[in-house]
Amino acid sequence: MVENRLKGLGVTKKIGIGKAVKLTDSGVVIHKTRITDTEAEVCKFYKVRDLFIEETENLFKDLSQKLDNNEVALIIQSHIAIVNDSQFEEDIKTQIVENKMCLVWAVDVVCSSYIKMFSQIDNEVLSQRALDFEDIRNRLAVIINGNEKSSDNRITISVPNAVLVVKELHPSMTARMDATELLGIVVENGGETSHAAILAKALGIPTVLGVKGACELIEEGDTVVVDGDSGEVIVRPSQEQLKVSDEKRTHLIDSEKELTVYKDKETCTKDGVSVSLYANIGSEEEAVRVNEFNPDGIGLFRTEFLFMNGNNMPIMEEQLLAYKNAVLASGERILTIRTLDIGGDKEVPYLGLEREVNPFLGLRGIRLCLEKEAMFREQIEAILRASAYGCGNVRIMIPLVTNIEEIRAVKGIISSVKETLNATHTAYDENIKVGIMIETPAAVIMADAFAGEVDFFSIGTNDLTQYTMVVDRGNEKVAHLFDTFSPAVLRAIKHVVSVADAAGIEVSMCGEAAADAAMIPVLLGLGLRKFSVASSLILETRRNIASWDVESAIEIATKIMSETSVEEIRRYGSDL
Ligand code: PEP
Ligand code: MG
């Protein structure tokens, strides 16, 4: 009997059971149907081609205005030449007329043959052509599926009760996904703290990552059980397996319901020590939704998803509206807006950034923003103007800081944007607080110096673990080495908390470790009193914090900090 269970990393404590929908890597659905009316399908091709050309021309105009690098814009324009090419047109027509393929299938087959051909050529320039055809295929498919311009850029899963099966879950895919009908996500690659996983968690969709062989074993339409708790994926389950999974699903739903009593409670330890519990959000809409869980504010607003949602950079006014809505949703509570953190696994194709050999060590986070200063200034302006709608509660947070010059450069830009706002008598919060993410070993080591420059720290354990342990956070091959309980990471956290306390500046934690049940007593014991977690984990974290008193937390932290082996620490943790 063929084993129908696959194993991966579960990232949401939920089970979903549904029908498999497979997406290409780009997030585009290729539904393969045989058609009878070939003439109508050929006509559809011409209409779609016209829409594609119109959209590409607009894209070209936008890019030429926004990018210094005109070459990228020219590449985009060359896509028009490709779809207009008579050979391309003939190839598509042949698949439709002779093989009775529907248009999206024909486009996929034709483009795939060009992708294959060009990627085999041992010439850098020509092999790049493969990427052009990938792009063309995806954009044509989006237009065909929606029969509309792809500019709204959302991925709609039209099949009810769908389980999405993909090789890679790009962050932009999760950001663009209309997830209302989605019961689960199975991803062949990816680690727990990859940005795609963070978004899946925020959406509360049962998700399992790093499921080797998933795309091969799972066929379109198969029934699939996605156990985001155990990390198990069951393909074409037997009646018995379905029954067991369904019982577990009901049980998990019941436990989630039990958590609702924590909705209106204050966050504090068993012995009554007050703790601030903030939310991590990725959109203005989430700033509204999260109020249901009554957080003390937003500890991290990942603004990059605003930039990844569309085909164009959001202009200042669009950003202002998004931030303003988040400010209004936050009332008097803290709202920490993190400036653009792209690069690494978060790509924004329209920026036309060059591919890097080591993107996580490359032009990412604040480095990119300082390089693209005009873009950064627009974001700062939008945040400052949005702060006028708050009550001194809006804060700016800078990602991936490694040296003091970056902090000073950012502060210089903020001052200069303030001056331009003053010149036009535009309102903003003059005393807006500026803080940094502590998520690189350099920032940990320099924490005492950085404390003199900023108003607050937020520890980003996802990147801090990645960079301290030299483990790619999205790579399942080394996922076993990605452990925030590693003594090196724990010592880094301890150091940052004590430096911040000594300097009298606020320190919180917004990495995924802040919501880890086993980590919570350690963090409390180290003196951390501000936690920022995915909105779907607020109630669970509130309950976990309430189950510890500070004295026992200190005891646990002291014991754990005396250990030098991660295995010993884990063993001790599991005995608690
Ligand atoms: C982190 O690195 O821990 C963090 C919170 O930021 P992000 O996950 O967005 O990189
Ligand atoms: Mg980070």
Last residue of a domain, which of 250, 279, 301?
A: 250
Task: Give me the pLDDT at residue 1, please.
Answer: 43
Ligand that comes closest to the CA of residue 401: 2
Residues 373 and 470 placed together within one structural domain of the fold: yes
Task: Give me the pLDDT at residue 136, please.
Answer: 87
Task: Give me the pLDDT at residue 500, please.
Answer: 98
CA distances from 460 to 390, 426, 475, 530 (A): 25, 33, 18, 13
Residues 427 and 508 placed together within one structural domain of the fold: yes
pLDDT (average), residues 257-282: 96
- Residue 189 DSSP symbol: S
Ligand that comes closest to the CA of residue 532: 1
Residues 243 and 270 placed together within one structural domain of the fold: no
Crossing angle (nearest 10°) for helices 124-146 and 70-84: 70
| Tokens standing for residue 74 | 């020219």
Question: Which residue CA neighbors atom 3 of ligand 1 most closely?
Answer: 460
Amino acid letter, residue 533: V
Q: Which atom of ligand 1 is nearest to the CA of 302?
A: 9
- Say how many Å lie between the CA of residue 460 and the centre of ligand 2: 5
Q: What's the domain count of the chain? A: 2
Q: Which atom of ligand 1 is nearest to the CA of 195?
A: 8
Ligand that comes closest to the CA of residue 340: 1
- Say how many Å lie between the CA of residue 509 and the centre of ligand 1: 10
Q: Which of 112-121, 182-191, 440-449 has the highest mean pLDDT?
A: 440-449
Residues 191 and 319 placed together within one structural domain of the fold: no
Neighbours of ion ligand 2 (CB under 5 A): 439, 460, 463
Report if residue 485 sits inside a domain. Answer: yes
Q: Would you call 475 helix, strand, or coil by DSSP?
A: coil
Mean pLDDT of the chain: 89
Last residue of a domain, which of 187, 222, 250?
A: 250
Task: Give me the pLDDT at residue 174, please.
Answer: 61
Task: Give me the pLDDT at residue 170, please.
Answer: 65
Say how many C-beta atoms besides its own lie within 10 A of residue 469's C-beta.
Answer: 19
Residue that the structure tokens 């959406």 belong to: 203
CA distances from 152 to 375, 473, 565 (A): 22, 30, 50
Handedness of CA 283, 337, 206, 253 (dihedral sign): negative
- Say how many Å lie between the CA of residue 30 and the centre of ligand 1: 33
Report if residue 52 sits inside a domain. Answer: no
Q: What is the spatial distance between Cα 206 and Cα 182, in angstroms, rounded to a whole number? A: 9
Pocket test for ligand 1, best of 360, 437, 496 (most atoms within 8 A of CB): 437
pLDDT in tens, 402-436: 999 999 999 999 999 999 999 999 999 999 999 99
**Which range is least confidently modeled, 17-21, 27-31, 345-349?**
27-31
Report if residue 101 sits inside a domain. Answer: no
| Tokens standing for residue 536 | 């779907």
Report if residue 78 sits inside a domain. Answer: no
Whether pLDDT at 298 is above 80: yes
Q: Which domain holds residue 414?
A: 264-574
Task: Give 101: exposed, middle or buried? Use CB within 10 Å, 0-12, 13-18, 19+.
Answer: buried
Task: Give me the pLDDT at residue 149, please.
Answer: 39
Handedness of CA 204, 208, 209, 214 (dihedral sign): negative
512 and 200 Cβ atoms separated by less than 8 Å: no
Task: Give me the pLDDT at residue 272, please.
Answer: 97
Whether pLDDT at 152 is above 60: no
288 and 327 Cβ atoms separated by less than 8 Å: no
Task: Give me the pLDDT at residue 171, please.
Answer: 58
Residues 203 and 345 placed together within one structural domain of the fold: no
- Say how many Å lie between the CA of residue 224 and the centre of ligand 2: 32
478 and 469 Cβ atoms separated by less than 8 Å: no
Task: Give me the pLDDT at residue 410, please.
Answer: 98
Residues 172 and 303 placed together within one structural domain of the fold: no
Phi, psi (rounded to 5 degrees) for 66: -90, -25
Task: Give me the pLDDT at residue 343, please.
Answer: 86
Q: How far apart are the first and last CA of the chain?
A: 40
Residues 294 and 222 placed together within one structural domain of the fold: no
Pocket test for ligand 1, best of 11, 192, 193, 306 (most atoms within 8 A of CB): 193
- Say how many Å lie between the CA of residue 239 and the centre of ligand 1: 41
- Say how many Å lie between the CA of residue 463 and the centre of ligand 1: 6
CA angle (324 as vertex; 322, 330 as ends), nearest 5: 105
Whether pLDDT at 173 is above 70: no
Question: Residue 377 is part of a domain; what is its CATH number?
Answer: 3.20.20.60
**Which range is least confidently modeled, 79-88, 159-168, 393-402?**
159-168
pLDDT in tens, 279-297: 999 999 999 999 999 999 9
Residue positions annotated with a catalytic role: 195, 510
**Which range is least confidently modeled, 189-203, 340-354, 466-480?**
189-203
Question: Which residue CA neighbors atom 6 of ligand 1 most closely?
Answer: 460
Q: Which atom of ligand 1 is nearest to the CA of 463?
A: 2
pLDDT in tens, 193-247: 666 677 677 778 899 998 988 988 998 889 999 999 999 999 999 999 999 999 9
What residues does ligand 1 touch, defined as CB less than 6 Å away?
198, 300, 302, 341, 439, 460-463, 510-511
Report if residue 507 sits inside a domain. Answer: yes
* Long-range contacts of the stretch 443-448 (C-beta < 8 A, 24+): 443/401, 443/402, 444/468, 444/492, 444/495, 444/496, 446/403, 446/404, 447/495, 447/496, 447/499, 447/500, 448/499, 448/502, 448/503
Question: Which residue CA neighbors atom 10 of ligand 1 most closely?
Answer: 463
- Say how many Å lie between the CA of residue 155 and the centre of ligand 1: 25
Task: Give me the pLDDT at residue 563, please.
Answer: 94
Question: What percentage of the chain reaches a pLDDT higher than 90?
Answer: 65
Task: Give me the pLDDT at residue 362, please.
Answer: 93
pLDDT in tens, 306-316: 888 766 788 89
pLDDT (average), residues 63-71: 59
Three-class SS string for 367-404? HHHHHCHHHHHHHHHHHHHHHCCCCCCEEEEECCCCCH
Report if residue 121 sits inside a domain. Answer: no
pLDDT band at 334 (very low <50, low <70, confident <90, very high): very high
Say how many C-beta atoms besides its own lie within 10 A of residue 291's C-beta.
Answer: 15
Amino acid letter, residue 301: F
**Beta strands 207-209 and 223-227: pairing type?**
unpaired
CA distances from 107 to 23, 49, 95 (A): 15, 11, 9
Answer with the residue of higher pLDDT: 179 or 189: 189
Whether pLDDT at 139 is above 60: yes
Q: What is the pTM of this model?
A: 0.73
pLDDT in tens, 367-390: 999 999 999 999 999 999 999 999
Question: Which residue CA neighbors atom 4 of ligand 1 most closely?
Answer: 460
Question: Residue 244 is part of a domain; what is its CATH number?
Answer: 3.50.30.10
Last residue of a domain, which of 250, 285, 314?
A: 250
Report if residue 100 sits inside a domain. Answer: no
Ligand that comes closest to the CA of residue 195: 1
Residues 207 and 283 placed together within one structural domain of the fold: no
78 and 132 Cβ atoms separated by less than 8 Å: yes
Residues 434 and 497 placed together within one structural domain of the fold: yes
- The CB-side HSE value for 426 (13 A sphere, CA atoms) comes to 15
Report if residue 454 sits inside a domain. Answer: yes
Whether pLDDT at 25 is above 70: no
Residues 194 and 311 placed together within one structural domain of the fold: no
Pocket test for ligand 1, best of 302, 336, 472 (most atoms within 8 A of CB): 302
Q: What is the spatial distance between Cα 401 and Cα 540, in angstroms, rounded to a whole number? A: 31
pLDDT (average), residues 476-491: 93
